[in-house]
Amino acid sequence: MTHAVPALSAEQTATLTDTAIRAIPPAFPLAATVAVNPFLGQTDKTLPETAALLSRVAGCAATAPRSWFAARIARGEITAEDVAAALAGGEASLSVTDVLAAVGQVRPVPSPLPTVSALEGQALAEARIGAWASGYFDQGQALWAAQSEEGAYANWRRYAIHDLQPEFAGVPGIRASFAALPETSEDALIWALAQLEIPAEAASLFAHRLLMSLGGWAQAARYRLWQAELAGETDTSLAELLAIRAAWEAVLLAHKPALLPAWRSALASYSAPQTPSWDDLIDGILQEAAERAVQRRLAGAFCPAAPRGSAARPVLQAAFCIDVRSEVMRRALESQSPEVETLGFAGFFGLTVAHTPAGMCGAEARLPVLLSPGLESRAEGDHGAARIAGRARRAWGRFRQAAVSSFAFVEATGPLYAGKLVRETLGLGHDVVSSAKPVLDPPLPLEAQVEAAATILGAMSLRENFAQVVLIAGHGAHVANNAHASALQCGACGGYGGDVNARLLAGVLNQAEVREGLAAKGIVVPVDTVFVAALHDTAQDSISLFLDDLDEVQHAGAAKVLTQVASWCAAAGSLARAERAVSLPGAASEAEVAKRALDWAETRPEWGLAGCKAFVVAPRDKTAMAQLDGRVFLHSYDWRQDEGFGVLELILTAPVVVTSWISLQYYGSVVAPEVFGSGTKQVHNVTGGMGVLDGATGALRVGLSQQSVHDGTEFVHEPLRLSVVVDAPVAAISEILGRHPTVQALFDNGWLKLLRLGEAGTIADRYVGGLTWEPFAQVHKPALAAR
């Protein structure tokens, strides 16, 4: 092969590798998965720029189809004024007429940049790398496991030199070429890029394209880097995956010289400028207009009404996660009595805890994935018996799975499965067992507990007027037979339930010594106040209280009010279920909501966070009169109590970022389901205990399934970027954004929308980027011709 292009230096290659790797979002394993922004590597780009990039590297769209916008325009939900306002945001080359005319047209289907594997026609590289990767990333499904101690590249090479499948697919002799590859992944990448004649300026785009062709496997490898960097280390899995994929390209081209002319002409397309197309710009405007329309309706939720309740001491203050699903329950609970107040706070309640359940080796990171654990806890009591039971269960499982012994297993126990089948079919036998009380281990010194308690209460804007009962309600979801169960748990708790964090916090706040320390810091908790941990089960919409965690004295002292609280919670659950039954398929009544959640055949046990569209950071009384349909994140925040705006800074840099990940995961799974969604659950095939394949083979599929965002007839999630509404002074918000360029980029590039509540309690200002604001109700007359 001729070398029109000189080989790249090791340094150049390292840089382009790093650029390509950081364009890939991490995918968390399903054991504890959290929502990830699929555009994480593109937050420095606008939506049209991202659309231009993704159409090249993945062949997918970055916005909903035109028909989605057309339907909303036809229904009058999106108006010409919204389009005009969106255009006024900076796109001068288009007119309202252009945009409205384009709505009726079908957007051209993007085709990704060619690869050798695609030109060859069988996607052989992707298929074979996927077959290897499913073994390499296996977390323990296969009894005869692939060796995974060595690096990805070395491991893959030892696989590829034996794999006969490509030979049967028409590439004889390819194993010898794999055997002849350079020893290290770095050298292999340099060699492959030179063989492929990739010009230096196109190399990182090519690398991005190759990584996208591997689907979820690239994201699973990116997760390893993410975790390593969180711990201050590094990981080369994804860089090695890139070398593997590039080596495949070069080797395949060498074996298929007939492809060379097609490949050379394809190369030019990698060097072409990546400017957004006219259609990309149109879609960007339509998206912006749709969000303006939603914001107009959202503005109606903020009534300049009198603050709810009185200044008198409430009987119950219930703190829930900011999760959109809490909104329905909070509204239901508040409706029980004027003596009930609710708060919203990130559901890990400020405790970054690594928790060890009974009998388990290794801890669960029950904290936001942006953070590292700072505390350790374990289930109270003796773990020995649980550990033996767990190991015996595993040995039995291996007996079931192993060759030869599987025959004995089937002959001995097969008939017992008749009972299991009948039980599951009749919906019996899914008892939800309460787990043991968690304890901090090693215990936290008293001063540290006081410090943590003061910080957390301050961050919750809960420093005075404590109720008799303060409920700390984490959330989780009990579902059955669901590979994606962890996606329904608390995102702030790393894909686990929030019960452990809630119980730990309640335990800290109930100690008399801690309360003395808090009083010294000016936070006076009345003696008769009891902190009670609870779990809000979002699949069944029920609240269970951990009353057994309280010591007897406390329990007895508050017995009467606790009974009252329990009955409020039960009634609120019933109301919330009735509200949700309407939108849940197959739930004709409130009573069926709980039953269907544990049905082993149910693919839509709940809607999760589908529908999320806004995040309100304000005192609850600003939204208390509104019915927000479980579509809004609510964070309690009172800027008047926030000296120096430290709490606001925390909110804007942590919960806001997490909610952007959630909203954009839903967005991505709707607009580009083939790339950022995981397909239909009907054919999901759990692989390695960590992800799903789409059917018999293929790449790992990440993101939300079709059943999570679609009801069989239409999308239940509207693909909107999240509107963040903050009740704080303009200057404070701008200053914080200025200090955090990555957060500012999210707003400046439109991945999040920022609005501000004014003194009157209504939306007053809109952030327009570059730390500047405009009045929210700015009127944009639709100018029909281009300016």
Partner 1 sequence: MLLSLTALLVPLVLAALGLALLLRPDMLRSHIRRVAATAAGLALAVTLGTALIGLPGGGVARLDLVSAVMLPLVAGLGWVVLSFSSVSLRDEPEGVPFMGWIALALASVMIIVLAANVVVLWLAWLGLAGCVYRLFLTYPDRPMARAAARKYLLSAGIATLALGLALTGFATGYGTLSIVEITTAAEAGAAPATLGWSLAALVLAAVTASALFPLSGWLTEAMEAPTPFSALLHAGIVNAGGVLLLIFADLLVLAPGSLAVLALIGGGSALIGALVMLTQPAIKTALAWSTVSQMGFLMLQIGLALFPLALLHIVAHALYKAHALLNSGTAVTAVTEARGAGPVALPDAKVVARAFALALAIYGLGVVLFGALDKAPQALALGVILILGIAYLIAQGMAGGAPKALAMRLAGFSAAATAAYLALQAAAQALAVSHLPAPPAATAATWAVIALALVSFTLVAVAQTLLPRWSDHSKARALRVHLSNGLYATAILDRVLRRSAA
Residues 545-564 that bind partner 1 (CB under 8 A): none
Name which of residues 368 to 407 contact partner 1 (CB under 8 A). Answer: 387-388, 390-399, 401-407
Candidate list 158, 437, 521, 555; residue touching partner 1; CB under 8 A: 158
Name which of residues 5 to 44 contact partner 1 (CB under 8 A). Answer: 30-31
175 contact partners, CB below 8 Å, separation of at least 6: 160, 161, 162, 163, 164, 166, 167
- Angle (CA) 130-668-33 rounded to 5° is 60
Alpha carbons 273 and 265: distance in angstroms, whole number = 16
Amino acid, single-letter form, for residue 644: G
Work out whether strand 469-476 and strand 316-321 pair parallel, antiparallel, or are unpaired.
parallel
Contact region with partner 1 (CB under 8 A), list: 77-85, 631-639, 674-682, 726-734:
674-682
What is 473-490 written as a DSSP string?
A: EEEE---SS-TTGGGGSB
CB 350 within 8 A of CB 373: no
Candidate list 234, 434, 682, 742; residue touching partner 1; CB under 8 A: 682
Residue nearer to partner 1 on the CB measure, 138 or 380: 138
Q: What ranges in 231-371 are assigned the alpha helix state H?
A: 237-255, 260-271, 278-299, 324-334
Nearest to 19 by CA among 210, 244, 274, 181: 210
Name which of residues 578 to 637 contact partner 1 (CB under 8 A). Answer: 585-586, 596, 599-604
Candidate list 432, 446, 625, 683; residue touching partner 1; CB under 8 A: 683
Candidate list 234, 269, 271, 413; residue touching partner 1; CB under 8 A: 413
Residue nearer to partner 1 on the CB measure, 85 or 485: 485
Residue nearer to partner 1 on the CB measure, 122 or 455: 122
Name which of residues 694 to 713 contact partner 1 (CB under 8 A). Answer: 695-698, 711-713
Eight-state DSSP code of residue 376: E
Instruction: Give the residues across from 753 on adjacent strands.
Output: 723
Eight-state DSSP code of residue 114: P
Told to check if 775 binds partner 1 by CB under 8 A, we report no
Amino acid, single-letter form, for residue 719: P
CB of 420 to partner 1, least distance (A): 5
| CB neighbourhood size of 435 (10 A) | 17
Told to check if 474 binds partner 1 by CB under 8 A, we report no
CB of 590 to partner 1, least distance (A): 19
Told to check if 485 binds partner 1 by CB under 8 A, we report yes
Contact region with partner 1 (CB under 8 A), list: 42-50, 189-197, 476-484, 559-567:
476-484
Query: Up-side HSE of residue 291: CA atoms within 13 Å toward CB?
Result: 29
Alpha carbons 10 and 13: distance in angstroms, whole number = 5
Residue nearer to partner 1 on the CB measure, 101 or 601: 601
Q: What ranges in 510-620 are assigned the alpha helix state H?
A: 512-520, 552-557, 559-581, 590-597
Told to check if 154 binds partner 1 by CB under 8 A, we report no
Name which of residues 328 to 367 contact partner 1 (CB under 8 A). Answer: 357, 359-362
Told to check if 424 binds partner 1 by CB under 8 A, we report yes
Told to check if 159 binds partner 1 by CB under 8 A, we report yes
CB of 117 to partner 1, least distance (A): 16
446 contact partners, CB below 8 Å, separation of at least 6: 513, 514, 517
Residue nearer to partner 1 on the CB measure, 215 or 619: 215
Residue nearer to partner 1 on the CB measure, 554 or 705: 705
Distance in Å from the first CA to the final CA of the chain: 53
Name which of residues 169 to 228 contact partner 1 (CB under 8 A). Answer: 169
Candidate list 1, 101, 412, 432; residue touching partner 1; CB under 8 A: 412
Q: Binders of partner 1: how many residues, by CB under 8 A?
A: 97
Name which of residues 486 to 545 contact partner 1 (CB under 8 A). Answer: 486
Tokens (6 digits) for 618: 């304000």
Candidate list 77, 81, 138, 380; residue touching partner 1; CB under 8 A: 138
Q: What is the per-residue burial (b if ≥16 Cβ within 10 Å, else e) of 287-303?
A: bbbbbbbbbbebbebbe
Candidate list 686, 760, 777, 784; residue touching partner 1; CB under 8 A: 686
Candidate list 417, 559, 591, 741; residue touching partner 1; CB under 8 A: 417
Candidate list 65, 104, 121, 140; residue touching partner 1; CB under 8 A: 140
Candidate list 232, 273, 415, 522; residue touching partner 1; CB under 8 A: 415
Query: Up-side HSE of residue 786: CA atoms within 13 Å toward CB?
Result: 6
Residue nearer to partner 1 on the CB measure, 536 or 596: 596
